[in-house]
């Protein structure tokens, strides 16, 4: 496999004439007793007289490498002293089992070369404040916990796509520039388009997914969403990512089951593949292991009763706040679906319950352990006249929704879908305090840098 070999043209000074296999830290356990080369950065160094320790990172993990001075020429020992935090190096070492290492393995340094030095790296392996870390997000991403979070996030996205592919969903990307709100209530980011026209950054791909579902049956999109609400909490971003499936001939119960299957699939995959990262994040995995069928399903009115019983004052028609959702989540040992909300607190496109005109066939999935709404979805209004009435009631510009109404004009069918917020989900799985940490470069009310 040529791609796995060092290219001597790039680092000709490394090991004269000998081509060593280039491996990553997460593969080292397969190379016990062998000499390998790694490309990466210095995480930290320590020394104790005649022995020096190098914590080496390459993006897949961190391994400790040892340099016992008497075994090496003086020049190499001296070069070791030049290593600062985040100096980039090519490292050649022999893989050895060692019980003292958290990984179970260590490297004996054979040789290394400095690619580029790192002077006064600002992030030390000590405590830092959120402000400072956010300002240095481009560097903060290199640290241990952030690396674990990003690996988990990457897997969540990958396996969500795999889940839908396995079920023969078509990936249909929704536009980012949209003519108006998907859900009239929330504020939008306005963008200057051509000829003095205004467009808005998408809040959701849902309406377009409905068109796609009536075209292809089972579809999903994965993309960014933008909300110009001036939210300033550790659960909010102005730019976040969602995965939004939409299925024709699906009712609210089918929809909740799909959401349930997806969540279980994702949690299982992360538990299988990211045990080490969950450990680094000190995530208690017991609550995650408990996530299996069936999730609880309660109606909005049940939820109100639960909250009232707990002494929280809330009545029919009130929406749940973050503390209410947390209170509900603590009542259950796995995620809970709350369904059939009053129509007036839900979006215009939600179908009304035929037995209860005042209820909408929408649901939220409230994640466990105090984390709130992670999924929101439901059955869509598929009757032309009812939908038109709802658009007018919400004072939405009918002309912008002409195409959306068309979907009810030409072979309308019952259909449902939901949106899963990637960051909310990863925040819950990794039990991270701030949502800003589970997206590579967070966009928040007061911060657009770096």
Any idea which residue has 């001075």 for tokens? 69
Nearer of residues 101 and 113 to RNA, judged by Cβ: 101
For 318, residues 6+ apart whose C-beta sits below 8 A from its C-beta are 304, 345
Nearer of residues 8 and 157 to RNA, judged by Cβ: 157
Nearer of residues 170 and 312 to RNA, judged by Cβ: 312
Query: Do the beta carbons of residue 431 and residue 281 sit within 8 Å?
Result: yes
- The DSSP H or E segment spanning 289 is helix 286-289
For 246, residues 6+ apart whose C-beta sits below 8 A from its C-beta are 206, 209, 210, 212, 213, 219, 220, 415, 416, 417
Query: Do the beta carbons of residue 107 and residue 63 sit within 8 Å?
Result: yes
404 C-beta neighbours (distance < 10 Å), count: 19
- The DSSP H or E segment spanning 42 is strand 35-48
Nearer of residues 234 and 292 to RNA, judged by Cβ: 234
Q: Output the smallest distance, CB 122 to RNA, in A.
A: 5
Q: Output the smallest distance, CB 417 to RNA, in A.
A: 11
Q: Output the smallest distance, CB 213 to RNA, in A.
A: 18
Nearer of residues 6 and 419 to RNA, judged by Cβ: 419
* C-alpha–C-alpha distance, residues 55 and 142, integer Å: 13
Q: Output the smallest distance, CB 225 to RNA, in A.
A: 7
Please report the DSSP string for 278-291 in residue order: HHHTT---HHHHT-
Nearer of residues 194 and 316 to RNA, judged by Cβ: 316
Query: Do the beta carbons of residue 123 and residue 139 sit within 8 Å?
Result: yes
Q: Output the smallest distance, CB 119 to RNA, in A.
A: 8
β-pair type (88-97, 35-48) = antiparallel
Nearer of residues 159 and 226 to RNA, judged by Cβ: 226
Buried b (16+ CB within 10 A) or exposed e, 313-343: ebeeeeebeeebbebbbeeeebbbbbbbbbb
Nearer of residues 353 and 423 to RNA, judged by Cβ: 423
80 C-beta neighbours (distance < 10 Å), count: 18
Any idea which residue has 């009712």 for tokens? 251
Nearer of residues 220 and 240 to RNA, judged by Cβ: 240
Q: Output the smallest distance, CB 9 to RNA, in A.
A: 31
Q: Output the smallest distance, CB 204 to RNA, in A.
A: 7
Nearer of residues 61 and 419 to RNA, judged by Cβ: 419
* C-alpha–C-alpha distance, residues 215 and 170, integer Å: 10
Q: Output the smallest distance, CB 258 to RNA, in A.
A: 15
Any idea which residue has 């995530």 for tokens? 283
Please report the DSSP string for 65-83 in residue order: EEEEGGGS-HHHHHHHTT-
* C-alpha–C-alpha distance, residues 106 and 217, integer Å: 52
Nearer of residues 14 and 364 to RNA, judged by Cβ: 364
Q: Output the smallest distance, CB 8 to RNA, in A.
A: 31
For 367, residues 6+ apart whose C-beta sits below 8 A from its C-beta are 329, 335, 373, 374, 424, 425, 428
Q: Output the smallest distance, CB 294 to RNA, in A.
A: 20
Q: Output the smallest distance, CB 159 to RNA, in A.
A: 18
């Amino acid at each position: 496999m040529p791609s796995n070999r060092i290219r001597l043209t790039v680092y000709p000074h490394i090991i004269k004439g000998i081509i060593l296999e280039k491996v990553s830290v997460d593969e080292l356990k397969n190379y016990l007793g062998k000499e390998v080369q790694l490309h990466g950065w210095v995480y930290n160094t320590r020394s104790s007289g005649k022995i020096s320790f190098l914590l080496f990172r390459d993006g897949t993990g961190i391994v400790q490498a040892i340099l016992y001075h008497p075994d090496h020429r003086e020049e190499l020992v001296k070069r070791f002293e030049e290593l600062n935090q985040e100096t980039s190096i090519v490292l050649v070492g022999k893989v050895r089992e060692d019980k003292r290492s958290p990984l179970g393995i260590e490297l004996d340094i054979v040789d290394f070369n400095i690619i580029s030095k790192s002077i006064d790296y600002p992030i030390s392996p000590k405590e830092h404040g959120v402000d400072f870390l956010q300002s240095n997000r481009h560097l903060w991403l290199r640290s241990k916990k952030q690396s674990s979070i990003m690996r988990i996030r990457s897997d969540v996205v990958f396996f969500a796509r795999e889940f839908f592919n396995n079920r023969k969903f078509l990936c249909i990307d929704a536009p980012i520039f949209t003519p108006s709100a998907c859900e009239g209530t929330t504020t939008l980011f306005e963008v200057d388009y051509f000829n003095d026209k205004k467009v808005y950054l998408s809040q959701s791909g849902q309406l377009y997914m409905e068109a796609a579902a009536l075209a292809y049956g089972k579809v999903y999109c994965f993309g960014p969403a933008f909300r110009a609400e001036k939210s300033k909490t550790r659960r909010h971003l102005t730019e976040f990512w969602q995965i939004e499936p939409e299925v024709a001939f699906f009712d609210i119960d089918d929809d909740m089951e799909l959401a349930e299957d997806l969540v279980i699939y994702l949690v299982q995959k992360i538990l299988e593949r990211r045990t080490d990262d969950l450990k680094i994040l000190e995530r208690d995995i017991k609550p995650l292991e408990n996530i299996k069928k069936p999730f609880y399903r309660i109606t909005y009115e049940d939820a109100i009763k639960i909250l009232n019983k707990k002494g929280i004052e809330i009545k029919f028609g009130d929406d749940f706040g973050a503390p209410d959702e947390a209170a509900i989540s603590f009542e259950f040992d796995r995620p809970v679906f709350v369904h059939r909300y009053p129509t007036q607190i839900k979006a215009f496109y939600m179908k009304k319950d035929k037995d209860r005109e005042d209820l909408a066939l929408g649901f939220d999935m409230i994640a466990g352990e105090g984390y709130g709404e992670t999924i929101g979805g439901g059955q869509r209004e598929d009757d032309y006249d009812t939908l038109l009435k709802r658009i007018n009631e919400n004072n939405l510009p009918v002309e912008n929704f002409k195409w959306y109404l068309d979907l009810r004009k030409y072979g309308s069918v019952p259909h449902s879908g939901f949106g899963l917020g990637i960051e909310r989900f990863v925040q819950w799985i990794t039990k991270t305090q701030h949502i800003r940490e589970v997206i590579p470069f967070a966009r928040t009310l007061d911060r657009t840098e770096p």
